[in-house]
């Protein structure tokens, strides 16, 4: 009994003195609403050995290791905002704030978390990821925000949320979008810099895709639509979407707005708005997009941009940051910046021209850097507008010259230039040049009111001339009719029509046309009425009473020796034996007797007394021919032959004793069986001949002999030398030229090309396929051309001298290019080259190889500016051959040059080459039994330099008793391919 009382007493004592459990702190200091278990750490006192903890009325399972002052437990039930009660041992509750997380979004570097933060707005909430911790702030009770950093966003880890005690509250998987730190523009690109720019789903500028060119994740380059750069906007939005995020990042960037106020002919005033970041640093900015240098911006609002008069000054311009020349960045939009076009004038087109020429400034029709048109052209005629485009555009001396197709006249029209960037249209009224169609006639010396018909006539002062006389009292009737009083006194000068010349000073326009003739009583077929009754004034090329006879034409005349009367041949056309008379005129007039025209009317023969004395043998006499009372006159065409003796052979005899001297021509006429100029080589008979073979691809010439020797013949070089003939002004090696055109016509081959000095070189090769000799009249020198031979003619047009004191030198090569040593042996004694000269001028060259001889004969004539004169031929020295860098390795080679002084239009020279076979080496002859061994091959070369070919070849077939000759072979090897 007493024991029970003691126990009860002690219990009552403990109950009276017991201390209740107390919570002083809970970590975390706030928790996330929901059912997710959360570990809480409770700090306090008197928790006892077996504490009972509830959170929100639900048990919080106490973990082992708890003590009387520290409890760790895990929630088991849901908690709700704004707070929940934490109770230990059913004693005084502790209020724990609760927040709610709903969602998050991102705007570039800003992250916004949405939820219920009413109870924790005063608390510190931080986030952490990948070792980076960020502290944000509450915008209000429903929004929390923080700024992203590169290392934070690049991680794929969970984002952790901590309270102010750095205790982890919860972790959330958050797929962040990209962050754009900077945007810059180039001429046609947008460059975005930032992080987390990949993997990209798409990128837009506004709502339009921007085509990605490159993307490193930190730098993205894309091509926006071209309209982006021309849009007049002060800001633009870049929208980026990643494949790893549902958030679209929209970033807004500012840019200046560039526009022009007005455009004039040499400058424009521009306006710039919304300078962002450049207000105080305009020196970095320039205007780009035009051909000329960048224009610095020196004012912050409106200023002038000047257009120089040069090409390409109309273009798409924009403001750029040019502070770094290696990376020029666009700052503004693009505008089309152009000067106003200025049309200075046009030509006056004829009715049927179909083309109008315009010239002016700033007429470049395309925009710089593109093919886009900067202007269009319109023609308004009879109220109907049509478009036209320039056929050609040239730019010279700061002016544009345009050629535009236009409708035919005579009605006028308006041409307009319409710029695409402005409404300043330039227009001009175009009148066609007046035309003349008809005129009434009058009788000679009878004043008559004349009516003139045409098109495009305009009012105002009008002057009319007919022939060399004025027409008075000019009256404008309408746009197609004029009248005037003509005294009918002018005399027609040539032809049956006189010129009518009309000047419209209001234009000013002028028009002229050969259209007036007097009323005639006789019939002037190819001419007009003469003031002399019943006579005609014939047109050029016609003669006779009724102008039906063609006027004679003189081309050339053969030569004689002074004081040796001889028959001369005049070559030309339209010669008739009707009152035919020939005169040769010098210090006096000498009649050329017994004049007789050929049946083909192309030549005249007559006997000239050779009695007109000259001060210098190289001077030329005039020739006059009368046919049926019509006179034709040719200046400076007849020359005497030099008073040389006939050639003396090696035996000391004239013509080697095997021919007779032609005193008129001072040449040898060889006896049958003998050839060459001095009749020194015996012929061994004659056989049938075959024509030469011509290689159509070249102009150099090679003769192949029966023994297999090859002689190379042709023109080698053309030089212009100074007055001392010691310095080369310009030089052209013929072997190095390229022939641009080759034409074959029957037996004629024509090669032509243009030399670097713009002169035209032409080579013409003509084959004589006849079996008889023919003769070539060169400046009065009658040259025999052997059967089955080829004439080699060189023509040079439009040679431009460096000085009137300079000379032209034409060099020919004659030599052995290939020797058949099996026949000839290796002994060079069998290969000989020699020349024969008269008056220090080379007349003949001979290159002999074992009885086969290349013969070169040089005429002593040349034709200088249309008149015959004498030339001089020189053999080049070894020093000259080396100086000209000519080939000197071939055995038995001779280079000869013909030198001519300055000429205005043309010079003609004439060397002749051939191979004479006088014997053949035993075993090497190409002949067979019964086949004669005498064979000959020849090339005739005429070189013509100048603007026109003034030499006419007359092939006179002459049958002689020399027997037949044969061309062995002739091939032309190409040395420069066209």
Residue 46, sorted as left (phi over 0), alpha (psi -120 to 50) or beta, turns out to be left
3-state DSSP of 510-548:
EEEEEEECCCCCCCCCCEEECCCCCCEEECCCEECCCCC
Average pLDDT over residues 604-611: 93
State the chain's mean pLDDT as an integer.
Answer: 78
The yes-or-no verdict on residue 962 having pLDDT over 50 is no
CA-derived radius of gyration, the chain = 55
Distance CA 661, CA 923 (A): 38
DSSP 293: P
Dmax over CA atoms of the chain, in Å, equals 199
DSSP 234: S
DSSP 890: S
pLDDT computed for residue 533 by the predictor: 63
Q: Give backbone dihedrals phi and psi of 807, rounded to 5 degrees, phi first.
A: -125, 160
Range in 467-481, 795-809, 941-955 with the lowest mean pLDDT: 941-955
Three-state DSSP class for residue 662: strand
pLDDT computed for residue 202 by the predictor: 93
The yes-or-no verdict on residue 825 having pLDDT over 80 is no
Distance CA 843, CA 658 (A): 20
CA distances from 323 to 190, 281, 294 (A): 19, 11, 12
Cβ proximity of 837 and 916 under 8 Å = no
How would residue 372 be classed by pLDDT, with cut points 50, 70 and 90?
Answer: confident
CA distances from 516 to 467, 496, 530 (A): 8, 8, 13
pLDDT computed for residue 936 by the predictor: 31
Beta strands in 650-759 (DSSP E): 659-662, 667-670, 674-675, 681-682, 701-704, 710-721, 728-733, 741-745, 748-754
Cβ proximity of 677 and 669 under 8 Å = no
Q: What is the pLDDT of residues 176-209, one digit of tens each?
A: 899 999 999 998 999 999 999 999 999 999 999 9
How would residue 935 be classed by pLDDT, with cut points 50, 70 and 90?
Answer: very low
Please tell me the pTM assigned to this model: 0.46
Distance CA 598, CA 555 (A): 15
Distance CA 748, CA 694 (A): 10
How would residue 760 be classed by pLDDT, with cut points 50, 70 and 90?
Answer: confident
pLDDT computed for residue 823 by the predictor: 54
What's CA 842's distance to the chain center, in Å? 48
Distance CA 742, CA 718 (A): 21
Average pLDDT over residues 807-828: 66
The yes-or-no verdict on residue 118 having pLDDT over 50 is yes
Residue 762, sorted as left (phi over 0), alpha (psi -120 to 50) or beta, turns out to be beta
Token code pair at residue 220: 């993205």
Q: Give backbone dihedrals phi and psi of 941, rounded to 5 degrees, phi first.
A: -120, 125
pLDDT computed for residue 943 by the predictor: 37
Token code pair at residue 470: 């004025």
How would residue 926 be classed by pLDDT, with cut points 50, 70 and 90?
Answer: very low
The total of other beta-carbon atoms located within 10 Å of residue 564's CB is 16
Token code pair at residue 247: 């958030």
Beta strands in 323-468 (DSSP E): 329-337, 342-346, 355-361, 375-381, 384-388, 392-396, 399-405, 413-419, 426-430, 435-439, 448-455, 462-466
Cβ proximity of 466 and 498 under 8 Å = yes
Distance CA 681, CA 663 (A): 21
CA distances from 504 to 456, 461, 464, 474, 745 (A): 10, 6, 9, 11, 52
Average pLDDT over residues 893-919: 69
How would residue 157 be classed by pLDDT, with cut points 50, 70 and 90?
Answer: confident
Cβ proximity of 436 and 458 under 8 Å = no
The yes-or-no verdict on residue 685 having pLDDT over 50 is no
Strand-strand pairing, 469-478 and 509-516: unpaired
Greatest mean pLDDT among 312-326, 521-535, 563-577: 563-577
The yes-or-no verdict on residue 354 having pLDDT over 70 is yes
Distance CA 667, CA 838 (A): 13
Greatest mean pLDDT among 548-557, 625-634, 896-905: 548-557
Distance CA 854, CA 875 (A): 16
Q: What is the pLDDT of residues 64-103, one digit of tens each?
A: 888 999 999 999 989 999 999 999 998 889 999 999 999 9
How would residue 9 be classed by pLDDT, with cut points 50, 70 and 90?
Answer: low
Cβ proximity of 807 and 901 under 8 Å = yes
Residue 185, sorted as left (phi over 0), alpha (psi -120 to 50) or beta, turns out to be beta
CA distances from 49 to 25, 65, 69, 89 (A): 19, 10, 10, 11
Q: What is the pLDDT of residues 132-153, one digit of tens each?
A: 899 999 999 999 999 998 888 8
How would residue 970 be classed by pLDDT, with cut points 50, 70 and 90?
Answer: very low
Return all residues near 555 (Cβ < 8 A) that are at least 6 apart.
571, 572, 573, 952
Query: How many helices (H) and strands (E) are present in the chain, helices listed first?
Result: 5, 79
Return all residues near 518 (Cβ < 8 A) that are at least 6 apart.
441, 442, 443, 444, 488, 492, 528, 529, 531
CA 338-340-346 angle, 5° bins: 130
How would residue 5 be classed by pLDDT, with cut points 50, 70 and 90?
Answer: low
- Could you tell me what percent of the chain has a pLDDT over 70? 75
The yes-or-no verdict on residue 7 having pLDDT over 60 is no
The yes-or-no verdict on residue 665 having pLDDT over 80 is no
pLDDT computed for residue 820 by the predictor: 58
- Could you tell me what percent of the chain has a pLDDT over 90? 27
Distance CA 55, CA 69 (A): 18
| Exposure on the CB side of residue 518, measured as CA atoms within 13 A | 30
What's CA 400's distance to the chain center, in Å? 18
The yes-or-no verdict on residue 162 having pLDDT over 90 is yes
């Amino acid at each position: 009994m007493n024991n029970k009382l003691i126990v009860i007493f002690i219990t009552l004592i403990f109950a009276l003195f017991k201390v209740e459990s107390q919570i002083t702190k809970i970590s975390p200091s706030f928790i996330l609403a929901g059912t997710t278990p959360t570990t809480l750490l409770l700090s306090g006192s008197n928790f006892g050995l077996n504490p009972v903890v509830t959170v929100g009325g639900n048990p919080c399972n106490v973990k082992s290791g708890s003590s009387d002052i520290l409890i760790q437990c895990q929630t088991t039930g849901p908690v709700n905002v704004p707070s929940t009660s934490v109770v230990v041992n059913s004693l005084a509750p502790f209020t724990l704030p609760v927040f709610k997380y709903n969602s998050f979004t991102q705007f570039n570097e800003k992250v916004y978390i949405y939820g219920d933060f009413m109870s924790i707005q005063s608390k510190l909430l931080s986030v952490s990821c990948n070792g980076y911790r960020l502290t944000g702030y509450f915008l209000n009770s429903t929004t929390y925000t923080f700024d992203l950093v590169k290392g934070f966003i690049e991680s794929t880890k969970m984002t952790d949320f901590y309270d102010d005690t750095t205790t982890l509250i919860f972790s959330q998987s958050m797929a962040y979008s990209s962050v754009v730190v900077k945007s810059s523009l180039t001429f046609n690109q947008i460059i975005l810099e930032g992080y987390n720019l990949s993997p990209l789903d798409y990128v837009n500028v506004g709502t339009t895709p921007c085509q990605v060119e490159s993307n490193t994740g930190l730098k993205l380059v894309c091509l926006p639509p071209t309209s982006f750069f021309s849009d007049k906007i002060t800001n633009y939005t870049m929208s980026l979407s990643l494949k790893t995020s549902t958030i679209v990042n929209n970033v807004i960037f500012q840019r200046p707005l560039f526009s022009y106020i007005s455009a004039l002919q040499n400058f424009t005033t521009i306006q710039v708005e919304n300078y962002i970041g450049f207000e105080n640093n305009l020196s970095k900015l320039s205007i780009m997009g035009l051909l000329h240098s960048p224009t610095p911006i020196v004012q912050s609002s409106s200023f002038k941009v000047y257009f120089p008069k040069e090409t390409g000054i109309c273009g798409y311009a924009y403001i750029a940051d040019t502070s770094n020349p290696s990376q020029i960045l666009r700052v503004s939009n693009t505008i089309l910046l152009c000067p106003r076009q200025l049309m200075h004038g046009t030509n006056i087109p004829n009715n049927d021209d179909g083309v109008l020429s315009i010239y002016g400034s700033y007429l470049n029709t395309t925009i710089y850097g593109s093919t886009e048109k900067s202007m269009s052209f319109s023609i308004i005629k009879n109220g109907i507008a049509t478009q036209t485009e320039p056929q050609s555009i040239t730019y010279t001396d700061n002016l544009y010259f345009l050629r535009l197709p236009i409708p035919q006249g005579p009605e006028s029209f308006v041409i307009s230039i319409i710029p695409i960037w402005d409404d300043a249209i330039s227009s001009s009224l175009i009148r066609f040049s007046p035309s003349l169609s008809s005129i009434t006639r009058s009788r000679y010396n009878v004043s008559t009111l004349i009516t003139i018909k045409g098109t495009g006539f305009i009012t105002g002062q009008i002057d009319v001339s007919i022939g060399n006389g004025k027409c008075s009292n000019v009256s404008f009737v309408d746009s197609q009719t004029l009248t005037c009083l003509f005294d009918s006194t002018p005399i027609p000068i040539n032809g049956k029509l006189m010129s009518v010349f009309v000047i419209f000073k209001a234009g000013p326009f002028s028009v002229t046309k050969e259209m007036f003739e007097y009323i005639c009583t006789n019939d002037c077929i190819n001419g007009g009425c003469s003031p002399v009754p019943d006579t005609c004034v014939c047109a050029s090329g016609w003669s006779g009473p009724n102008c039906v006879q063609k006027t004679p034409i003189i081309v050339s005349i053969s030569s004689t020796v002074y004081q040796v009367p001889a028959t001369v041949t005049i070559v030309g056309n339209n010669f008739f034996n009707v009152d035919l008379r020939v005169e040769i005129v010098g210090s006096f007039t000498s009649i050329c007797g017994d004049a007789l025209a050929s049946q083909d009317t192309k030549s005249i023969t007559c006997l000239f007394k050779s009695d007109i004395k000259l001060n210098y043998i190289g001077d030329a006499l005039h020739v006059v021919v009368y046919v049926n009372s019509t006179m034709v006159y040719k200046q400076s065409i007849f020359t005497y032959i030099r008073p040389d003796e006939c050639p003396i052979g090696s035996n000391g005899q004239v013509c080697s004793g095997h021919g007779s001297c032609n005193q008129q021509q001072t040449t040898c006429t060889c006896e049958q069986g003998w050839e060459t100029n001095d009749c020194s080589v015996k012929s061994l008979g004659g056989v049938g001949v075959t024509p030469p073979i011509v290689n159509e691809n070249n102009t150099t010439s090679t003769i192949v002999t029966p023994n297999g020797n090859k002689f190379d013949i042709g023109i080698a070089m053309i030089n212009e030398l100074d007055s001392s003939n010691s310095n080369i002004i310009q030089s052209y090696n013929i072997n190095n030229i390229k022939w641009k055109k080759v034409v074959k016509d029957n037996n004629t081959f024509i090669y032509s090309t243009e030399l670097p000095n713009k002169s035209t070189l032409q080579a013409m090769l003509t084959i004589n396929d006849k079996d008889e000799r023919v003769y070539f009249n060169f400046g009065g020198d009658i040259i025999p051309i052997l059967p089955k031979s080829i004439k080699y003619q060189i023509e040079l047009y439009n040679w431009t001298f460096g000085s009137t004191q300079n000379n032209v030198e034409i060099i020919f090569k004659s030599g052995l290019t290939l020797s058949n040593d099996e026949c000839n042996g290796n002994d060079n004694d069998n290969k000989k080259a020699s020349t024969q000269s008269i008056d220090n001028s080379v007349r003949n060259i001979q290159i002999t190889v074992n009885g086969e001889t290349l013969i070169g004969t040089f005429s002593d004539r040349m034709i200088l500016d249309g008149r015959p004169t004498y030339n001089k031929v020189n053999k080049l020295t070894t020093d000259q051959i080396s100086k000209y860098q000519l080939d000197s390795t071939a055995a038995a080679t001779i280079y000869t040059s013909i030198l001519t002084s300055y000429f205005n239009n043309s010079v003609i020279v004439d060397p002749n080459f051939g191979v004479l076979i006088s014997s053949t080496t035993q075993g090497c002859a190409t002949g067979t039994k019964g086949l004669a061994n005498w064979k000959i091959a020849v090339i005739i070369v005429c070189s013509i330099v100048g603007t026109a070919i003034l030499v006419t070849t007359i092939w006179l077939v002459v049958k002689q008793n020399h027997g037949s000759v044969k061309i062995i072979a002739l091939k032309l090897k190409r040395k420069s391919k066209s």
